[in-house]
Chains A and B, each alone.
Chain A
Amino acid sequence: MKKFWKPPFSVNEKAKKLILTMKLTVFIVFLTLMQVSATVYSQATKFSFRAENKQVVEVLRQIEDNSDFRFFFLREQVDVERKVTVTARDATVEQILEELFRGQPVSYEFANEALIVLTRSDNPLGSVNSYLQGNLQQPAVSGKVNDSSGQPLPGVTVVIKGTTRGTVTNADGEYSLTNIPEDATLVFSFVGMRTQETTVGDQTRINVTMEVDAIGIEEVVAVGYGVQKKVNLTGSVGVIDAEKLENRSVGRLEQALQGQVSGLKIVQTTGQPGNEAIDILIRGKSTFTDNPALTLIDGIPSSINQINPNDIESISVLKDASSTAIYGARAAGGVILITTKKGKTGKPRVSYDNYVGFQQPSRFPEKVTAYEHAILFTEGEMNDDPNRTTFKYTDEDIARFSSSDWADHNWAEAILSDALQTQHNISVSGGSETQDYYVSGGYLYQDGIVINTGFEKYTFQYNQNIKLSEKFKLGFNGSFISDKRTAPSEASVPGDGNVRGVIHLMDRVYRWGNTIPFKTPNGDWATVEGGLEPSAIGINSEEGGQQILKRKKVLGKFNLDYSITKNLKLTGIYGINWEQNRQRDFSARMKFYDPDNPDDVTWDNSENALLITNSSSNYQNSQLLINYDKIFDAHSVSVLAGYTREWLYQDSETVGRRDFLTDDIYAISAGSADRASWTTAGVASDWALASYIGRISYSYKDKYLAEAAMRYDGSSRFVEKIRWGFFPSFSAGWRITEEDFLKDNDILTYLKLRLSWGQVGNQNVGYYPFADILAIGEYYFNNAVQKAVYTPITPNPELTWETKTGSNLGLDGNIKNGLFSFEFDVFKERTEDILLNVPVPTAYGKPAPVQNAGIVDNKGWELELGHRNSLRDFSYGITFQISDATNKVIDLYGTGPWIDIANNNITEEGHPMYEWYGYKAEGFFQSEEEVQNHSFQAVQTGPGDIKYQENGGNPNTITPDDRVRLGRSDPRFPYGVRINLDYRNFDLIAFGQGVMSHKVFNNGWTAYNFDRSYSTLFKYHLDRWTPETPNARFPKTRIGGSSLNAQFSSFWLENAAYFRLKNVQLGYNVPQNVLTKFKLERARIYLSGENLLTFTKLLGFDPEIPTGTTTRLVEKRYPLSKIYNIGINLTF
């Protein structure tokens, strides 16, 4: 709210603790304080003290602290910072005020017996007075404000919303206001408490209970199978509330979570709408296996993307093993709990949110021009073979590329464009004594920044809780999501040799030089490089066909609560997560022409093709839970026990035909009847899990906290005799500020120490590696397909889950009631029985079996800092979070080091996983002599090539023995900063995120100097070695030459540390008088942007897109977007 009022001071003990007080240094002599009749209070209350060189405000506060008097003033009118020296001896308040304001244009007036209003005497009709006129003469509403423990709360500001009129509560927490307009809303605010709003309506008496805000005494967070007061948490749980997700123009929830919670690392690898690949990692990598975080929406496991972010009330990120142990064998990667919104008691409340904006590519490297390309290529040909007499680009070509008639063929420009993004959201919520409801509908439209891509999504959420009787409560949470993704076709005719799809398109756009036309002069699609392939733009455009994926998802949960006694509750839950997908992929007939002889068809896709894939998955979950909660004097006990069963079944079938009569028929039967050209495929899989869960929590005076939890899981993924696993955890907490010696201090509002230990598992061993499965292949005799089989894996029937044992130490604190806050965690975890494909000697002749073999340690820390404050009508908050996690391989079952040549990394006991491994570059050779004096590298090596460090082995030759560790491959120190500012009707939110250290291998067609003869280079490659530029960034230009500079070496490792301004929102709240006119409760318009600024040293590419190892990843990826939006939020 916009604070017009300087909040007055208070004397109440409780309030004193909560109020943001400045330390007073005046000495106090406190004489008498007599509570007499109201009319004589001012005369009967006497003060004795001396204040020397103190601000007026400090003196006023002194009086307030020692009496029931409240002062009320505007800083604009009364100079309270003026220093004075005052001596009072048995003085009345009036005498003191006379003394204080002697010679000042200040007058005072008793608004009631204890409220004294100070105003400028030369401005007697100022705003304060005018307010007082109305306030005092026509009382219309009055009431009492209590805190949650029932104690009256003095000093609470009560304002009529949208006006500058208001009052403060007196020592008994009482207030009264007059001249209340129709449809008025009262806003109750008090520093350290959550601001509350109440509609007046016909009421004349409104009592309010304020809740503590800053340290969230009452705030509850979702934990496994229940909720817990945040202050009583003993594990490590990060919380993201709805506010932090508001108005983010992201297609997927994960994007909005990035950088919000320490220890939660989110990496988006492609930007294709509806197909974003997003990795979530909680507390870094602690195993070699796939170990995703378990996500649950309202208690039912689900994909994290199966929700409209607008429907989220809060998200809990369970990080340590004690918080997650109750999820047992699936919890080793951490757990994310999403809670959806719930209706609140009151009249129906309708909210509408909308934004519209456009997206642009965030970062896209610029290629060299055609002319530069030809010059560089020729230079490379000369460098590779000085005897060469013929070159790819003739002098005429080069002259043509440099002439003013020549226009570069800019592939990137041809496929990229600004794209529209918009979202509408409407929700209705409300409730009564017996039920509450929340209903919402959402629509997202995201056009792609790349041709032929786009996404649309409809979401519905329906939540309702009904109190059937005193004993029975019924709840329902359900969502339905329907979306549609459009992308280039990938349905190639078998054997037509065409590669298609977004990845192919991006690959070619990065790779082809500006010398290469994608259309002929006639405007037809061209083949490239003399018929090598059809232009990727043509084949992936809408003319080439389209892949349309339509998904429908239903997530539903029923729960029935039965309160057997006041303390004992039985809950039955049934949840379902159902998904049905249908993908229709159609590629059209197309002709491609020779750009030099534009009438000549050089590529004829004479057959069209249709592939239809239907897939479905059906997950069911049933739970029976018993809760027992009881408070015995100072002891509080809570017990949970339960049994759950889960099943998943999924399947998928693909059918395809080709050679359809026209390009418009989308039914399979319309295709060729030649069975040899049909495609069919299908897979299915299932698993089941049965589990017993239990938890007991105990607290003594909310001061000493202890908890034990366990899960006993039986998984169908393992053979019967080793199917069951037990996962225990213990944790304890100490709320130090509840101790008597700290209870009443003014500085430390809250301090808690947490300690936990637990074990969790990872059951992601794939589907049935214990069985020696057979794979089906084929061979051909007599021109006919013959069935063929082989065993693709080495089975391991003894396989069981990985077990992670972790401990966590945490310290949470809050200073001066929210002025500063911090959460600090250190953790250490060891994962044992890691599923390893322990490398086996090649003579074994089969892939390595998966074994429970490895041990990896992971340790790290997380820090979150917060600061918030308000200065007059300006309030702000800053949160900063940073974390780090480092792993170390302890045991590889006696094997290793594992050198992964394809991925250029090494894993060895005693070192982090996947360290870079290759030659150490020592700059460039500058002379033939230097080449001769150095270890032999290759026959062709010469000046301008990269020099590799000799490290033993054969001392005269650079061999694989000379490879060394080149540093960690995983990013370090992910961090995030969030700033909120509120000034009058304006608010500003800025949120940024980054990593502090990351070495990446930016490999691609274009990373090296002409990696292939079919690739181009980027502008930054112009900075290459020549005899004239010996200190260039890049070695001398070469074509291919995989044994030369393109070998993996430290030279190609780049620094991809970055900071990115993820989101900025500038909002304006429409003033109350306008709102009233349109019968609105809230209206806000805002401008926002995503990914607006990026700071990084990485050349060319987006630092968030992880660069590749084997495959040329970076150059196959859909660029991330920058988004500019304008939006509104309305509430009726």
Chain B
Amino acid sequence: MDQPSSETFWNSAEDAEMWVNYLYNSLPDFESVLREDWSDNGFHQSISIIAAGRHTPSTNYVEREWDYETIRRCLELFQNIEKIPNISQERKNELMGQARFILVFTYFEMMTLFRDIPLVKEPLPIEESDIPKSPKQEVLTYILEQIDMAINELPVSLTASQSGKITKGAALALKARMLLYNERWEEAAAAAKQLMDLNVYELHPDFGELFISETDNKTNEIILAYQYVKTVKEHQLIRRLHAIGNGGFSQVTATPSLANAFECIDGLPIDESPLYDPENPFENRDTRFYETFIFPYQTINGFYYDPLDPANWLSLTFLHFRKYINDIEKGKITGDSNWILIRYAEVLLTYAEAKNEASGPENSIYDALDLVRLRAGMPVVDRDKYNTKEKLRMLIRNERRVELSVEGGGLRYFDIIRWRIAEEVLNTIVTSFEVPGKLPKNNLDTWVFDPNKHYVWPIPQSAIDKAKNLEQHPEWQ
């Protein structure tokens, strides 16, 4: 026999730890950058299947997000850890807390995309696993219970040798995100506040440094990241994001709509700022603009980017994403900066949004937003201009988009879905970034978003085909 068998497993805490370690692989890794083209932030060079409304129950994007294997592995841990003799309660809590986080994370993403899904709470025997969908609210209730347990089980801080593991802060941040997405504003704000009050996390002074490997596991802003290690496990984001001329695929390029969401350095939107010059649109912008994009006629790591050079023919929108690939040398196509899943700035923005929705503008909201903006070198929020819930909402939403693009695995898509603005932003003709006299406005693709259908994803056909009790959503029948 060439492999160990589980009959001799589950004897020690180390066994359980190895099991939990494997679970981390199911967190979104760098490939989830492709989720950026589900939203109005990114354009996929081949076909933006989700954004363009071309998905079907058989589309592999859809199949890929249906992940009951991770759920089972988490549930099996809860079951098997009880068999282990002589495991300390502390160790057990820590391991169960990590598994619980991953269980909740997986359910939460599936629930957000697929709405009603089968809810499995313990490892089922095969004959009992043909179960119908549970309403989304029931799933939510369950995972909120679970995340509360995880919050209790997980430690606040880690020793250096554990860096990269899930902490209490990660669980709190996830809880805040879950409540936010489900419009439970007060509770969301409270969860975010609870995390803020841990006094563990703070914004990293330099926005751009968040995305280079030097900073990995060394800043208090990043709450959880998928780990990459030099030479051992590297990501290929440069292939996904970079220009053809520099070893990339240009698989996902940035839309003009995202670029235009960045204010000018004076804190005004481009249509209000006197600093904005359509003929020199890349000047005087929010400092985050320069960390987020590779834009035309810029030189990065010795590569001069000319989108009209035939060698760069796939620079369809003329704008490339820059996060995570900034420190990669020319001619190299892999990098080892961690892929951020949750960071403190998101929590601050979650707090701001939830609090605003719950109670309207108040100082704690402005303070949270100011922290994020000041770190980026932007002026504080104009209290007079953004003085109503509605006005402030627009600012917060824009701030989320600008601060968090490309990160976390499709945060913008989740936002436009929960804000129900997808039909406004996705029913569009995608174009390249026009610079009068320099770069043409090319029509790239026509996207269609059907609000009666596309707010929920279809249950994958393969899952329907394998179960008698699992029905397709009415929108997709």
Contacts and interface: CB of A to CB of B under 8 A. Distances in A.
B430 to A, nearest CB: 10
Given A387-B446, A841-B129, A844-B124, A1012 B46 contact: yes
Contact of B4 (A388, A773, A781, A954): A773
Most interface-central of B3, B53, B314 (chain A CB within 10 A): B3
Contacts of B130: 841, 843
Interface in B1-46: 1-7, 9, 15, 18-19, 21-22, 24-25, 45-46
A1127 interface: no
Contacts of B141: none
Contacts of B18: 786-789
Interface stretch (B191-199, B271-279, B460-468): B460-468
B246 A531 contact: yes
Interface string A701-743: 0000000000000000000000000000000000000000000
Contact of A939 (B7, B53, B129, B249): B53
B2 A683 contact: yes
A794 B232 CA distance: 30
Nearest to A388: B443
A790 B99 CA distance: 13
B69 A845 contact: yes
A686 B1 CA distance: 6
B164 interface: yes
A788 B233 CA distance: 15
A842 B118 CA distance: 9
B124 to A, nearest CB: 6
A773 B239 contact: no
Contacts of B164: 780-782
A777 B22 contact: yes
Contact of A387 (B216, B443, B465): B443
A532 B461 contact: no
B160 A782 contact: yes
A496 B227 contact: no
A164 interface: no
A771 B312 contact: no
A1043 B21 CA distance: 38
Interface in A369-407: 385, 387-390, 392, 394, 397
A531 B331 CA distance: 9
Interface residues of A, number: 81
A934 to B, nearest CB: 17
Interface stretch (B54-62, B181-189, B286-294): B54-62
A778 B477 CA distance: 41
Interface string B326-360: 00000111100000000000000000000000000
Contacts of B476: 959
A664 interface: no
Interface stretch (A218-226, A597-605, A1113-1121): A597-605
Interface in A671-716: 674, 676-677, 683-686
Interface string B65-85: 010111111011000000000
B175 to A, nearest CB: 23
Contact of A497 (B160, B310, B333): B333
Contacts of A1013: 45-46, 314
Nearest to B76: A791
A772 B161 contact: no
B69 A531 contact: no
Nearest to A780: B227
Contacts of B161: 781-782
Contacts of B118: 841-843
B452 interface: no
A849 interface: yes
Most interface-central of A496, A789, A840, A843 (chain B CB within 10 A): A843
B163 interface: yes
A374 B301 CA distance: 33
Interface in B361-412: none
A938 interface: yes
B445 interface: yes
A788 B45 contact: no
Contacts of B72: 844-846
A389 B442 contact: yes
Contacts of B24: 779, 788
Contact of B25 (A392, A495, A788): A788
A777 B25 contact: yes
Contacts of A939: 53-54, 446, 448
A781 B247 contact: no
Interface string A1039-1054: 0111100000000000
A532 B123 contact: no
A783 interface: yes
B467 A841 contact: yes
A939 B71 CA distance: 36
Contacts of B462: 842, 899, 901
A529 B76 CA distance: 47
A719 to B, nearest CB: 12
B57 A845 contact: no
Contacts of B229: 780, 783-785
Contacts of B465: 839, 897-899, 901
Contact of B5 (A676, A774, A1043): A774
Interface string A815-852: 00000000000000000000000011111111011000
A388 B313 contact: no
B244 A530 contact: yes
A767 interface: yes
Nearest to A842: B463
Contact of B443 (A385, A394, A677): A385
A960 B217 contact: no
A594 interface: yes
Contacts of A390: 432, 440, 442-443
Interface string A75-110: 000000000000000000000000000000000000
A126 interface: no
A791 B19 CA distance: 9
A1075 to B, nearest CB: 59
B200 interface: no
Contacts of B314: 529-530, 1013
B234 interface: yes
Contacts of A603: 247, 331
A775 interface: yes
B429 interface: yes
Contacts of A775: 3
A677 B230 CA distance: 10
Contact of A385 (B445, B461, B463): B445
Interface string A587-598: 000000010110
Contact of A602 (B163, B236, B247): B247
Contact of A842 (B47, B66, B429): B66
Nearest first, the 7 A-B pairs at minimum CB distance are A845-B72, A530-B244, A788-B22, A390-B442, A788-B21, A844-B129, A841-B467
23 contacts: A385-B443, A389-B440, A390-B443, A495-B231, A529-B314, A594-B245, A604-B331, A685-B2, A771-B6, A773-B4, A774-B4, A779-B22, A781-B227, A785-B233, A788-B25, A789-B9, A843-B68, A845-B69, A845-B70, A845-B120, A898-B465, A901-B58, A1040-B46
Given A685-B1, A898-B465, 13 more contacts: A494-B232, A602-B331, A684-B2, A774-B4, A777-B22, A782-B164, A790-B73, A842-B460, A842-B463, A843-B467, A845-B129, A899-B461, A960-B58
Interface of A: 385, 387-390, 392, 394, 397, 494-497, 529-532, 594, 596-597, 601-604, 606, 674, 676-677, 683-686, 767-768, 771-775, 777-791, 794, 839-846, 848-849, 897-899, 901, 938-940, 953-954, 959-960, 1012-1013, 1040-1043
Interface of B: 1-7, 9, 15, 18-19, 21-22, 24-25, 45-47, 49, 53-59, 66, 68-73, 75-76, 118, 120, 123-124, 126, 129-131, 160-165, 216-217, 227-234, 236, 239, 244-249, 310-314, 331-334, 429, 432, 440-446, 448, 460-463, 465-467, 469-470, 476-477
